[in-house]
Each structure stands twice: as structure tokens, then as C-alpha cells.
Amino acid sequence: MSEYKSEFLKTLSERGYLKQVTHPAEVDAYCAKGIPTGYIGFDATADSLHVGSLLQIMMLRHLQKSGGKPIVLMGGGTTKVGDPTDKEKSRPLLTDEQIAANMEGIKKAFQPFLTFGDGPTDAIMVNNDDWLGKLGYLEMLREVGVHFTINTMVKQDTVARRLAAEQPYTFLEFNYLLMQSYDFLELYRRLDCRMQIGGSDQWGNIVGGVDLVHKAASGDAFGITAHLITTASGGKMGKTADGAVWLNADRKSPYEYWQFWRNTEDADVGRFMRLFTELPLDEIARLEALEGAEINTAKVVLANEATKLLHGEAAAKESEAAAAAVFAAGGQADALPTVEIATSDLDGGMLVAAAFTAAGLTESNGAARRLIKQGAAKVNDTPVSDQNASLSADDLVDGTIKLSAGKKRHALVKAI
């Protein structure tokens, strides 16, 4: 059982989120009364978040469900620098236009998980470019820089590792800690925000913000981090053979998203249920105790519950039915990822390899040919052996062609 008394921290502890807390007793007391306010920052480095960010989104959801107010901080300003944390080299710098477009895409991920509005516990979204973009250089140095020592900053893991490897660590990146810390100070002043939440890789940045609020505003502030999630086999959460598991439906279909959770390793099922669903803990304990082939029942529940949170119950049911049709009956299903091509492309003889790439089953035609060479590529459930094989209109079944990469990944080509 959790040693915490507040609903928020008790939930985070019991479900396995918590890694570090700056002031356990004080933050527990803060969360147990009134409306605790906390934020998480998300830099706009892509036009969608992926499953790796879902842990943080779920923590904001639990904060709101326990009576707190979540703040989603969009990193319109910090993205101009790029978070160097755990990066072996500098990120490429994005233009203002790219950052704005990415933020528009990222915003979609939060709508299913949080209730936004003007109420006391409604979530709000803010952009740190609103204040970072207006700061003068001398103003930043005098207000923020005076509270940070180079001695401390060079001891941060990322800095120390880059310097030890004799890899460049730019002065621009060196300022990221100051900028993220200033975000906390600004949110404290503007919105009385007392908590910063993030992954444990952000611990140094979060502590910097807590200290700055204390030194610059004599305020009480707290930091909370979650465990960084890896799979039981040591892989990075949210990374698959065909790339990142994006949260936006236009980047990863509900069916593909459902399949990602359905393919969870046996040893991860219970842990992922606690973190990424809202199933009661006793129900999770029952499901994760299943053994042998029965663990697949738990995986379907995990897939349904996780997909329901992001895409809705109808999409979860449709995805489960599609999987049953594909795997049990060997047939097709409308919920499969679909790519549309012109019928004229088929008339000209579209390479099977090109179709696999267009459908997102492989990253390149070369990778598709390797898949064919390995005997893992199928067209309409029939293995393809010729690396230069082509599709034609004769392959259409009810207007579509089913492509399969191995046993678990499928897509449809639809002629228009």
C-alpha cells in the first residue's frame, strides 16, 4: 500500500508511476487540500506525440481525476533550443513555421485524456514562447542566470557525458536548464502552479525549477518524476520495427495502435495495465495472473482499454473485430490501415515492394525486398517469392488488396 494520503500521489504510487519526489511530505499535504496545480512540458519536435509521452499524459489525467488542475505547457520557446537531455548530439533546429505546425498536431493528443475549459479543475494549455520569446538577454541573465552555478550545471548527466565523449555541447543547449526552470517560475507567478511533473530523465531540470521558484520568489514548489518505461526485453517504450507508435490517428491508425498493445510482451501486461489503463487494481491482478495462452485474453483487454482512452470505445471494438477477422478467419477487415492508389498505377504493374512501402509496412523498397526474400511478405494471404513481383487489377478483392508483413502486420491497398 502507498504511504501517501492524497488521492493523486496514492494513485501514482500504487499504479507504479512514481520514481522521485522532491519533498514527499510537503507535496502530499499540498495535494490533499484545495486544488493542486501541476504541469508537464512538451516540446514540439514532431507533429504528433508518441506512446513514449503517454505516461506523462496519464499522470496529468490522474491529477485532474483526483481534483487537481493540469497545465499542458507547449514548448514553443524551448523547442527553438531543443532539449539536450539524453541526446548524444544536438537536435536540428526547427523554424518558427515548423514549430507552429507541430504544436497544432500535438494538441490533438490531449483532447481524449483531459477536460479543457475555464473551470477550477479544467485543464489549460499554455505556450512558453509567450514569455521566453519576450525575454531580453540581460534580463534573463540577471533574473535567472544568477541563481545557477556552472559547477552544478556541468555535473548534469547529459553535459558530463557529452564532455567526456568530447562531443560538442553548444552554449545554446547549455541554456536549456535555465529556460525550463524559468518556465516553472513563470507558471508559479501566473497560475500559482506548484508542481512540475515529468520523466526521471528530467529530474535535473525539474530540481532546477524547484530551486529557482524558491530562490527567486520565495515560493514552495515541488517536483515529481515517473519511471522511464522500457519493455521487459529492454526495448524502448513506443518503438517498433516500423517506427514510433504515434498518438495521432493520421499517423497511426486505431487498428495499428490496438495491435501495438495486443503485441505486448507477457511480462509487461500487468505493468502496462496499471500505467496505461484505468482498470481497477484487483482486476489487473486477476488478469496478469493468467498463464499460458490465457495471457492473450489479458492482452486483448489491455489493447481495448488503451485504445478506448485515446480513440474511443467504438474504435477499440472495431479494432478487436478486425483483428479477429484477420487472424482467426484469415480474411480482411475495414479497420485495417488503408492506402489509396490510382487504378491506373495497378494497370501499369505496381511493384509489390513499392506497395508495401506506400502502405507503411516497410520503410523502403529495399526493406520490402528483404521481407520478400525472407518469405515474410504476402499478398491476399499468398506468400510472395519474387522480389520484383508486381500487383495488377487482377489482385483486387472487392476493390482492395491485402498486404501482410509477417503474421501480425497487415494493410489494405484500395484502388480508386
Question: Do 39 and 131 have their domain in common?
Answer: yes
Question: Do 19 and 90 have their domain in common?
Answer: yes
Question: Do 105 and 214 have their domain in common?
Answer: yes
The torsion angles phi and psi of 155, rounded to 5 degrees, stand at -85, -10
* pLDDT tens by residue, 207-266: 999 999 999 999 999 999 999 888 887 877 766 655 678 888 888 889 889 989 998 999
* pLDDT tens by residue, 148-182: 888 888 888 778 888 888 888 888 888 888 999 99
* pLDDT tens by residue, 326-339: 655 455 555 667 77
Question: Do 68 and 206 have their domain in common?
Answer: yes
CA distance 403 to 380: 6
Contact predicate 145/192, CB 8 Å: no
pLDDT tops 80 at residue 348: no
DSSP 80: G
CA distance 127 to 276: 26
How many structural domains is the chain composed of? 3
163 vs 114: which has the higher pLDDT: 114
CA distance 154 to 72: 29
Q: Find residue 151's DSSP bridge partners.
A: none
Question: Do 116 and 19 have their domain in common?
Answer: yes
Least confident of 30-34, 135-139, 151-155, 330-334: 330-334
The DSSP annotation for 266-334 comes to GGGHHHHHHHH----HHHHHHHHT--GGGHHHHHHHHHHHHHHHHH-HHHHHHHHHHHIIIIIS----T
CA distance 9 to 3: 9
Res 90: pLDDT: 63
DSSP 324: I
pLDDT tops 70 at residue 78: yes
Output the domain CATH number for residue 380: 3.10.290.10
CA distance 179 to 177: 5
pLDDT tops 50 at residue 58: yes
Output the domain CATH number for residue 61: 3.40.50.620
Q: How far is CA 383 from the centre of its chain?
A: 34
Q: From 98, 80, 103, select the one nearest 173 (Cα to Cα).
A: 80
State the average pLDDT over residues 356-371. Answer: 82
Res 70: pLDDT: 98
The pTM (predicted TM-score) of the whole model is: 0.77
Question: Do 212 and 95 have their domain in common?
Answer: yes
Question: Do 174 and 279 have their domain in common?
Answer: no
The three cell numbers locating residue 363 = 520503410
- Domain span holding position 395: 338-415
Contact predicate 259/300, CB 8 Å: no
